Amino acid sequence: MNGTIVVRPGRRLSLRSVDPGDTRGFASHDEARVQLARDLERLRELQKLLVADGRHALLVVLQAMDTGGKDGTIRHVMSGLNPAGCAVTSFKVPSAEELAHDFLWRIHRAVPPRGMIGVFNRSHYEDVLVVRVHGLVPDAVWKARYRQINEFERHLTENGVAILKFYLHISKAEQAERLRERIEEKSKNWKFAVGDLKERKLWNRYMAAYEDAVNRCGTPWAPWHVVPANKKWARDALIARAMVETLESLRLRYPKPKVDLTKIVIR
């Protein structure tokens, strides 16, 4: 069975042991695309069920280094969903209003309601990643956030929100290639930011921060899924498969009609 690398509690995962070029069992681009098409069709069916059932929401969290594929994942995996039942939230640098609250305040406001799929492009994990790497708060503050995040996610899952957290794992060499494409291809020039090069210099610090995040916040109720993401086609297929499996595990069902439909006559 093709699948992501699920971080289990009690077993520390070393990101160095994960090959970003691993296709996780897919033998070819074509094989992955066939699987993706099948799962996207199933996702559309399950989204209808999610809305009709009304007991659950699905929150998809996407984290990655710059050029890691968060936007590409959204385009290729989420684009087939009904936009009326799917919302994407991108978390940028916190505003003055957001900084005046606890770090989870802006996150909780964006959590999808029951019947909806919500996608976070970056998330509350930035507060143990970029905040840690750049020393934006004292160590004691960000270290306490692992526990706070776990408790927050447990609260959500106990109130009907299924959480899927994906870390899109690319190599430093792959990032370099994607950054060069943004410079060399005119259609991608707009995506290039000098700041990405500054962050790239901190690669090892980010890897340490990501490794701690996926291990310390890989819980039974909201495990991390590490996705080897050098091959975009494998990445998309792996994420779609995980989404299908998660929604199917909720045992969604259409509600029974509130009236006896056999007695309804439309003239």
Q: What is the mean pLDDT of each run of 10 residues along the chain (267 residues)?
A: 85 96 96 96 97 97 97 93 95 96 98 98 98 97 98 98 98 97 94 92 98 98 98 98 97 91 87
Residue type, 137: V
Other CB atoms within a 10 A radius of the CB of residue 63 amount to 23
pLDDT given at position 1:
47
pLDDT given at position 2:
64
pLDDT given at position 45:
97
User: 0.85 exceeded by the pTM?
Assistant: yes
Cα distance between residue 107 and residue 135, in whole Å: 21
Cα distance between residue 91 and residue 155, in whole Å: 21
Write the CATH number of the domain with boundaries 17-250: 3.40.50.300
